[in-house]
Structure 1
Amino acid sequence: MSAQIYFVSGIDTGIGKTYVTGYLAKIWREQGRNVITQKLIQTGNVDVSEDIEKHREIMGCGWLEEDTQKLTMPEIFSYPASPHLATRIDGRSIDFAKIEQATQQLSSSYEVVLLEGAGGLMVPLTTQYLTIDYLVDKKYPIILVSSGRLGSINHTLLSLEALKHRGLELYALAYNLNAESDDELISRDTSAYLKKYLSQHFPSAKWIDIPFIE
């Protein structure tokens, strides 16, 4: 078995990538797909990834053996910052071979791997290597998390332009209703604008509504 690996990125920090990753895993599992999540690089934690913990909470599946083995969280750094800074503070570099090996081990046992990134597409993993560079190397299709809050149109279009410029595949735009603007008019207009833009410029990409949590 070789899984389909999707990379979950966002238009900005705090857009809800972790919730979206866990939610999609939950829904797809309910639909009968064998899904696991992985965190590319976790910062701001020691030993255990809080994002993986959140995924499991949303999925309602409990802690997995692959979590215990750290396959789902191969690189964790203690300082809550961009990876290029967190690695410097911890005094060690990212082991990309270790991450790749972990992803491939998950891929051999699951139908789908949802690989959550850190921040947005242009977040530096090292001083010379951006997240988007990693995606160019791996050719993973991307699920981009957006929302209806003020500024989302600009950030979303910039992210989509970056994907197009690098020749990367957009699998879906995940519209997170948990990160909406308090202004309903802005939210409705943002949703309508992005749907139209997506249909015109990325016609093969899916639109996925991520429901609001009460």
Structure 2
Amino acid sequence: MTKAFFIAGTDTDVGKTVASRAILHAADKANIQIAGYKPVASGSQITEDGIRNSDALYLQQASVVPLTYDEVNPYAFEAPISPHLASEQENRPIDFAVLSQGLAHLKAKSEVVLVEGAGGWRVPVTHDVCLSSWVKQEQLPVVLVVGVKLGCLSHAMLTAEAIERDGLEMVGWVANRINPGTEHYAEIIQMLEQKLPGKKLGEIPYMPGIKKRNLADYIDLAPLGLTVEA
């Protein structure tokens, strides 16, 4: 059976795409046929090829399995706002059936599907429903991306609690150093290791142009139960 994992963030702009690319790169290095999936994305641009989201493009480029843009990102909205507002603004309701069909399609083409979320765990896709409801419907194990900055400990622990309350397994987490000036970095990592469920997949350091770098060496795939070929 094809495995699938959901990449959640402690907030928006914490590095979900960076962490997702790192996992995709590590899987590529391990000869694992993996596909990236960004079901819902806000903050997209109109191009001659159609509407395109930069995060989804990064996932498309890093996927080991060749994918079209539409396979990676079924819902791209132009405005850089919450998906429920962008959906209303463009009069394009987000249908969970479409998200599930896209996931099933990618599962048929790959060994592993990496599903990147939007915003934080409780990001709304309508006034009444959050994207986390779809993750729960699909029973996807979750990898949490912690943007290491002041306040991240509370955000990380609250998000982990919400994931577990939803009956889902948090299989691991990734520390992404988004603020190089954050003090007591080692102590923050130590507390995350003590408090968060699941194992640490890796720590991604702050570096310029990070979305253009190969990040395979910063990720350990073992906590995901993925077989690494020699």
Q: TM-score when scaled to structure 1? A: 0.88
Kindly indicate whether the alpha-carbon contact (under 8 Å) linking 1:173 and 1:207 is maintained by their aligned counterparts in 2: yes
Question: Are 2:35 and 1:36 equivalent residues in the alignment?
Answer: yes
CA distance in structure 2 between the aligned counterparts of 1:125 and 1:190, rounded to whole angstroms: 32
CA distance in structure 1 between the aligned counterparts of 2:94 and 2:103, rounded to whole angstroms: 15
User: Superposition pairs for residues 6-45 of structure 1, below 5 Å?
Assistant: 6-45=5-44
Q: Deviations over 1:129-188 (max 9, x none)?
A: 1122222211100010003210000100110111121111101111113x1451332x22
CA distance in structure 1 between the aligned counterparts of 2:59 and 2:135, rounded to whole angstroms: 22
Aligned residues with identical type, % of pairs: 27
Alignment match of 1:190 (pick from 188, 191, 202): 188
1:8 is aligned with what amino acid?
A: I
Q: Which aligned segments of 4 or more residues in structure 1 are displaced greater than 6 angstroms? A: none
Kindly indicate whether the alpha-carbon contact (under 8 Å) linking 1:148 and 1:188 is maintained by their aligned counterparts in 2: no
Unaligned runs of 5+ in 1: none
Question: Are 2:182 and 1:206 equivalent residues in the alignment?
Answer: no
Q: TM-score when scaled to structure 2? A: 0.82
Change (3 A) 1:100 1:189: same
Change (3 A) 1:196 1:87: same
For the aligned residues, what is the CA RMSD? 1.8
Change (3 A) 1:147 1:140: same
Change (3 A) 1:189 1:29: same
Aligned length: 202
2:78 is aligned with what amino acid?
A: S
User: Secondary structure at 1:37's aligned position in 2?
Assistant: strand
Question: Are 2:54 and 1:50 equivalent residues in the alignment?
Answer: yes
Change (3 A) 1:188 1:180: farther
Partner of 2:155: 155
Unaligned runs of 5+ in 2: 209-230
Kindly indicate whether the alpha-carbon contact (under 8 Å) linking 1:19 and 1:55 is maintained by their aligned counterparts in 2: no
CA distance in structure 1 between the aligned counterparts of 2:154 and 2:77, rounded to whole angstroms: 31
Kindly indicate whether the alpha-carbon contact (under 8 Å) linking 2:35 and 2:63 is maintained by their aligned counterparts in 1: no
CA distance in structure 2 between the aligned counterparts of 1:180 and 1:9, rounded to whole angstroms: 19
